[in-house]
Structure 1
Amino acid sequence: MKGVISLARFPAKAGSSRTEQRLMTGSYLAAERGVAIRAVQAACSITTNVFQHLVSSESITKQDKSPVTIGDFSAQAVVNEVLSRHFPDDGIVGEEDSADLQGEKGADLRSKVSHLVNDSLLHHGEIDSALSDQQLLQAIDLGSFPGGTSKRFWALDPIDGTKGFLRGGQYAVCLALLVEGRVELGVMGCPNLPLNSAQAKPADGEIRSKNIPGLGAMFIAVRGQGAYVRPIQGKDAQETPIHMRDLHADFSKAAFCESVEAGHSSLGTNARIAELLGIPKGNSVRMDSQAKYASIARGDGDIYLRLPVGDGSYEEKIWDHAAGAILVEEAGGIVSDIAGRPLDFRQGRTLRNNRGVIASESSMHSKLTQVVAQALQEEGRAKLLEPKTS
């Protein structure tokens, strides 16, 4: 496997304390912001290389998940290692653990992951010598923190949108910092999303066959400081403020941003909601991953619904929503569950007190919540709107 794309080395920054004065001056979480950008850059370089060398260049079946497995483990190891070296007292809630890389059975996969991780960390100047296999496994397992409010922690999804990744569609590397159970910082790398929202998004699989210029957008938000987009790569790349479109609650101009996979949300209910709101048919964009949050944050769409399927017993994972939620909020939107309750990130590794997600431009959110309730009542699923009991 060829080497990982190298990035310019970022100097380590001193830690920061949480004060209103720093929040007002923009220095709040400045060190964490810089390190998070650096970590996500390195992870995106790995995932891009895995796609180029193991997905697009090889014939794989739908059942063959090995490339995304390599990418998941490698990206999580790199991000965890970078975070732990700069903020050793922080917890990390990660999606993966090292079980599949252990022992003789995991030797081949472990070797591939080790190559990617060490190449990346050495290129970025984060380590002076390669990590041993044991250190690699320990880095991945740093993601076992249980969450909650006992101390501040990071939430990481190393490859959000695995099916999109394998198709050559949209996926994201998502990292968020939570303090006292509230998301304070989010960084999201979307390697296949155009930097300029005016540029047409490539069709799934198009990236396999040709090099498309202008791809690769990183989205950044810090509580109270707004949301920004910049190229994924580059130390001093220009950041551009992003905002949701202000439609003044005119749903005839609104567009949904929906999941590709039907199992992730009730798309039939979405269609009924669009009908009730007067949103024209065809006013929707479908893509995988938290890239949907980023897309509505910069005005590519206006509404993202993730409605419960089945009996609503599924508990959303915090890493699937933390980075995206703060992006939308800092871009002028509102994020809640389907009953309009704030997402509760204090309950561990899942949003156990919430069902589903509604993210929208602020002037639309109240009406949208009412119509979601109406649609669920029509389906005989009004029980999903009731508070969850532990």
Structure 2
Amino acid sequence: MTDVRRSNGRRPRPHGVTGVTRVGWPPSWRGQRAATAFVHQARKQAKGARMSSQLPPGPIGLTSVETLALGAVREACLIARSLAATIQTTPVVRKADDSPVTVADFAVQCWIARCLTATEIPLIGEESAEALAAAGPEMLESVHAALPAGLRPRHPNELLLWLNRASQVRSAPGGCWWLLDPIDGTKGFLRGGQYAICLALVREGTPVFGLLGCPALPQSGIPLGNIGQPAGVLLLGHRSSGAWQSSLSEAAAWRAIQCSDSGSIGAKIRICESRDLRHAWRGLLDRSLERLGVSAAPVRIDSQCKYALVARGDAEVYARLPRDPSYVEKTWDHAAGAVIAQAAGARVSDLDGLPLDFSRGVALVGRGLLVASPRWHTALLDALRNAG
């Protein structure tokens, strides 16, 4: 086959591929500059509800990498919110375990993966290019149309390259990596309830920086039922700088948040748990609360929004008690929420009292989950052990 080259000695790009960093290669300086310009262009074109990403006031000191991630997640929240308004008319496919995947799952992961190209940090994400390709041309076209106008690639097939950045990495790469759940709580997203966009930076197996974008979560309080289209919130947690919350519609209005440590053992407390009954072993939880003399009716909520409620003091406890002892949690379902809750002063552990182990890539090491303010964590952990 003839080796066709331009006069500068380089092969021409394949038709339809324009400026996409090759999958599996560390981006060059030019690739970093292009990816950074891509995000800057997204912010510049943002109008109306699409606010530019500003640093939180106070002693936060975000790095350029963290700032880039913050802007990507905020824009992803607006993409997801827009799709939520038309979810009844967009395609949905099912995974092998019968869990749903929507246009929003793919679109958000495509967007964030593309934005994070400049960081040169490996990305582990829930969705894959293979799944998007298998979903068919209607899904691919819908994902392409969901991205901001002027920023989507020329051809929908290029989205597979964007997704490949995450789907090629399934085990912990060592050093530092991103963990992404593009739409955590897809069932909540479909029913008009709670869902979250979850991104964490993991270093040596420990999440050190986390972002939760919660487009349907109100500024305060525990949401009950479907609440329409509120302002939505963005939460940020940094192990060295605490936890913060901002409204999606007011990017500059950040406030520090802290978990609640009020109340005494035996008083009525606020507890949240999963809507998925596989992770809500009510018998065990009820026996444990009874041992403490607690009167509480757990509120069932989708997604990592439960971490957010504990972090900002709207709930004292988030308990995740799987019925099946062989069930293995996924790291992307917990990393961002865990670092935010811990940065807000809460304690996060498995049901044996051990720290969550994120060092193995996709699989989370540990049995169950307990997130609580310090006053409640030890007492409830002991009660769960005795009741089990």
C-alpha change, 1:249 and 1:341, in structure 2 (3 Å) is: farther
Correspondence 1:44 to 2:57: no
- Aligned counterparts of 1:96 and 1:62: Cα–Cα separation in 2: 12
Residue of structure 2 equivalent to 1:345: 358
- Aligned counterparts of 1:246 and 1:296: Cα–Cα separation in 2: 10
Residue 201 of structure 1 deviates from its aligned partner by: 2.5
Residue 266 of structure 1 deviates from its aligned partner by: 1.3
Question: Equivalent of 1:143, from 166, 187, 195?
Answer: 166
Correspondence 1:54 to 2:87: yes
C-alpha change, 1:321 and 1:332, in structure 2 (3 Å) is: same
C-alpha change, 1:247 and 1:185, in structure 2 (3 Å) is: same
Structure 2 counterpart SS, 1:328: helix
Q: What amino acid is aligned across from residue 304 of structure 1 in structure 2?
A: Y
Residue of structure 2 equivalent to 1:99: 130
C-alpha change, 1:260 and 1:10, in structure 2 (3 Å) is: closer
- Aligned counterparts of 1:238 and 1:74: Cα–Cα separation in 2: 27
Correspondence 1:224 to 2:247: no
Residue 7 of structure 1 deviates from its aligned partner by: 2.4
C-alpha change, 1:59 and 1:202, in structure 2 (3 Å) is: farther
Correspondence 1:7 to 2:50: yes
Residue 10 of structure 1 deviates from its aligned partner by: 5.0
Any runs of at least 4 consecutive aligned residues in structure 1 with deviations exceeding 4 A, and if so which? 3-6, 8-11, 58-68
Residue 131 of structure 1 deviates from its aligned partner by: 4.5
Residue 250 of structure 1 deviates from its aligned partner by: 2.5
- Aligned counterparts of 2:158 and 2:315: Cα–Cα separation in 1: 43
Structure 1 counterpart SS, 2:217: strand
Deviations 1:324-358 (A, max 9, x none): 1011111111000000000011122111x311111
Q: What amino acid is aligned across from residue 159 of structure 2 in structure 1?
A: L
Deviations 1:22-45 (A, max 9, x none): xx9643x43233222211112111
Residue 147 of structure 1 deviates from its aligned partner by: 4.0
- Aligned counterparts of 1:110 and 1:63: Cα–Cα separation in 2: 15
Q: What amino acid is aligned across from residue 225 of structure 2 in structure 1?
A: A
Structure 2 counterpart SS, 1:176: strand
Structure 1 counterpart SS, 2:233: strand
Q: What amino acid is aligned across from residue 50 of structure 1 in structure 2?
A: L
C-alpha change, 1:132 and 1:265, in structure 2 (3 Å) is: same
- Aligned counterparts of 2:47 and 2:83: Cα–Cα separation in 1: 9
RMSD: 2.9
8 Å CA contact 2:263–2:269 kept in 1: the answer is no
Correspondence 1:90 to 2:89: no
Structure 1 counterpart SS, 2:147: helix
- Aligned counterparts of 2:160 and 2:138: Cα–Cα separation in 1: 14
Residue of structure 2 equivalent to 1:172: 196
8 Å CA contact 1:4–1:49 kept in 2: the answer is no
> Could you list the runs of 5+ residues in structure 2 that have no partner in the other structure?
1-45
Structure 2 counterpart SS, 1:350: coil
Structure 2 counterpart SS, 1:363: helix
Residue of structure 2 equivalent to 1:203: 225
Residue of structure 1 equivalent to 2:308: 294
8 Å CA contact 1:77–1:139 kept in 2: the answer is yes
> Could you list the runs of 5+ residues in structure 1 that have no partner in the other structure?
14-23, 377-390
Query: Structure 1-normalised TM-score?
Result: 0.79
Q: What amino acid is aligned across from residue 217 of structure 2 in structure 1?
A: L
- Aligned counterparts of 2:101 and 2:217: Cα–Cα separation in 1: 18
Residue of structure 1 equivalent to 2:217: 193
Structure 2 counterpart SS, 1:244: coil
Correspondence 1:116 to 2:130: no
Residue 68 of structure 1 deviates from its aligned partner by: 4.8
Alignment map for 1:193-272 (pairs within 5 Å): 193-197=217-221, 201=223, 203-204=225-226, 206-207=227-228, 214-234=230-250, 236-247=251-262, 249-272=264-287
- Aligned counterparts of 1:172 and 1:285: Cα–Cα separation in 2: 17
Q: What amino acid is aligned across from residue 261 of structure 1 in structure 2?
A: D
Q: If you compute each CA radius of gyration, which structure gives the higher value, 1 or 2?
A: 2
Deviations 1:244-276 (A, max 9, x none): 111365241322111122122312222222212
Residue 101 of structure 1 deviates from its aligned partner by: 3.0
Deviations 1:217-266 (A, max 9, x none): 111111121111111245x4211111111136524132211112212231
Q: Give the count of matched residue pairs.
A: 338
Q: What amino acid is aligned across from residue 133 of structure 1 in structure 2?
A: P
Correspondence 1:72 to 2:94: no
- Aligned counterparts of 2:52 and 2:278: Cα–Cα separation in 1: 41
- Aligned counterparts of 1:171 and 1:8: Cα–Cα separation in 2: 20
C-alpha change, 1:318 and 1:112, in structure 2 (3 Å) is: same
Correspondence 1:357 to 2:379: no
Structure 2 counterpart SS, 1:133: coil
Residue of structure 1 equivalent to 2:181: 157
- Paired-residue identity, %: 34
- Aligned counterparts of 1:292 and 1:281: Cα–Cα separation in 2: 16
Question: Equivalent of 2:330, from 314, 317, 329?
Answer: 317
Deviations 1:21-75 (A, max 9, x none): xxx9643x432332222111121112111110233xx599999999952110001
Residue of structure 2 equivalent to 1:133: 156
Residue 363 of structure 1 deviates from its aligned partner by: 2.0
